[in-house]
Amino acid sequence: MSSTSQKHRNFVAEPMADKPVTALAGVGDVLGGRLEEKGFDKAYVVLGQFLVLKKDEELFLDWMKEACGANSKQAKDCANCLKEWCDSFL
């Protein structure tokens, strides 16, 4: 597996609780702001979208690109972060 960022490791190390959307790997202030404008203000709301898409990485990547203009790397980092969190906590 490729190396993960510190942000990714921090996120998957504990329950999500009320973390802001910017706590997700691949989501910085700009993408976070765009997601917040569309109602995705918390990490668990983005997780909900990931689950609605049945944890399908390709569908989620397309959604991230459309929803907030994420590039491929940002969308993939976020998907991997959510997938690993699900594997640990669901």
For each of the domains in the chain, give its residue range(s) and CATH number, in order of start: 6-89 (1.10.150.40)
How far is Cα of residue 6 from the mean position of the Cα atoms in its chain? 14
Would you give the DSSP letter of residue 20? B
- Distance, in Å, from the CA atom of 14 to the CA atom of 39, rounded to the nearest integer, reads 24
Q: What's the pLDDT at 4?
A: 86
> Which residues contact residue 35 at a Cβ distance below 8 angstroms, ignoring those fewer than 6 apart?
21, 27, 41, 46, 67, 68
Question: pLDDT class for 2, splitting at 50, 70, 90?
Answer: low
**This model's pTM is above 0.85:** yes
Q: What percent of the chain has pLDDT over 90?
A: 96
Question: pLDDT class for 6, splitting at 50, 70, 90?
Answer: very high
**3-state SS, residue 16:** coil
How far is Cα of residue 29 from the mean position of the Cα atoms in its chain? 13
Q: What's the pLDDT at 1?
A: 46
